[in-house]
Amino acid sequence: MKKLAEIFSYAMHPLFLPLYGLFFIFNSNSVFAFIPAVAKNYCYVVTFVCLCLLPVLTLPLFKKLRLIQSYHLSDRKERIYPVIVSVFYAFLGFYLIRQLPYTNIVQQMYLVLIIVLCGFAIVTLRWKMSMHMTAIGAVCGFLLIIGFRYFGDVRTTFMGLLCLAGLLGTCRLYLKKHNPAQVYAGFVFGLSFVFAILY
């Protein structure tokens, strides 16, 4: 069970969730399903490079500079540096995405991501909150906005995503990475923050 929980936690890592968010946006029953394939692929590539690859490549530098002890970022204070760098890379991704038409919704996702990351960094200064749950909560909030504002039928996808969020929260608790308050607070923070910004 522990191995399965670890595998699922890695598969649902906060670095990957923007990619999953794009997938949900582009495959929802909304106007965004009609974005040209070239634009979709460009968004996937930029998101992978800016929000997955570059932050991971920065971690060895942080370790060498002794800003972090391990790649697990178990200590609350160690999370600040990767989050700040992720904000910078998100700005870079936003700039690259802006160059292409039909990507307004993706630009919104990037801006919300930047705001959520900044909010998460501020909370992390005082308290350890689940980054996994914050990220999946933000994706849930974004999907809700698509359903409310753009008249997309996202009910099935949203319910599936809620089940994944529940499973992810269970895994984080089972692995003793967080306590229940940190898990629930992370999810509510991500979902409500995104919803409040965009609605």
Label residue 33 by pLDDT band (50, 70, 90): confident
Tell me: pLDDT of 171 over 80. Answer: yes
pTM of the model: 0.88
CA distance 24 to 16: 13
Task: For residue 195, count other CB atoms closer than 10 A to its CB.
Answer: 18
Is residue 180 a contact partner of residue 129, using CB atoms and an 8 Å limit? no
pLDDT at 188: 94
Number of domains in the chain: 1
Tell me: pLDDT of 5 over 80. Answer: yes
Structural domain boundaries, residue 175: 2-198
CA distance 152 to 4: 33
Average pLDDT, the chain: 88
Higher-confidence residue of 21 and 67: namely 21
pLDDT at 25: 84
pLDDT at 41: 94
The candidate with the shortest Cα–Cα distance to 121, out of 178, 75, 80, is 80
The candidate with the shortest Cα–Cα distance to 47, out of 78, 72, 73, 14, is 14
Label residue 93 by pLDDT band (50, 70, 90): very high
Tell me: pLDDT of 32 over 90. Answer: no
pLDDT digits (tens, 9 = 90+) for 103-147: 888 998 899 999 999 998 888 888 889 889 999 999 999 888 888
Kindly state the average pLDDT of the residues 177-195.
Answer: 91
The SS3 of residue 153 is strand
Label residue 46 by pLDDT band (50, 70, 90): very high
CA–CA–CA angle 18, 195, 45 (5° rounding): 15
Residue with tokens 């570059």: 54
Query: Of 37-41, 66-70, 103-107, 154-158, which range is least confident?
Result: 66-70
Tell me how far CA of residue 86 lies from CA of 27, 36, 115, in angstroms: 26, 28, 11
pLDDT at 48: 96
Kindly state the average pLDDT of the residues 2-6.
Answer: 88
